[in-house]
Amino acid sequence: GITMIESQASGLPTLSSDRVPPEADLGIGLFKVLPLKQDSWVNTILTIRPCDDRTEKYQEAIRTDYNIERIAHKMEEYYLNLL
């Protein structure tokens, strides 16, 4: 999951099996879920195109909830509520 988030944040197309939680998708159009069938992967890899503007995708990723500062704050709140 984490490496998939990082690759999308870098503006790279990201392929995932259907076994990875959907939360790994940043929602910026770079995440594709595939079944664990060889043909699906081969066909997708052969036709995948790089992102036209990796800088723009990076900016989109920053605007999502996956910002490290937001996640750290959410985690802190979670653990404080356990007390």
- pLDDT single digits (tens) 11-24: 899 999 999 988 88
Q: How far is CA 25 from CA 45, 55, 83, in A?
A: 18, 18, 31
- Taking only the tens place, the pLDDT of each residue in 38-81 is 888 999 999 988 777 887 887 888 787 776 777 778 778 888 99
Residue 14: what are its φ and ψ, rounded to 5°?
-130, 125
pLDDT, residue 59, reads 83
| pTM, entire model | 0.67
pLDDT, residue 74, reads 77
Q: How far apart are CA 29 and CA 47, in angstroms?
A: 16
pLDDT, residue 67, reads 67
CB environment 11-23: b (16+ within 10 A), e (fewer): bebbbbeeeeeee
Q: How far apart are CA 17 and CA 9, in angstroms?
A: 19
pLDDT, residue 14, reads 93
pLDDT, residue 31, reads 94
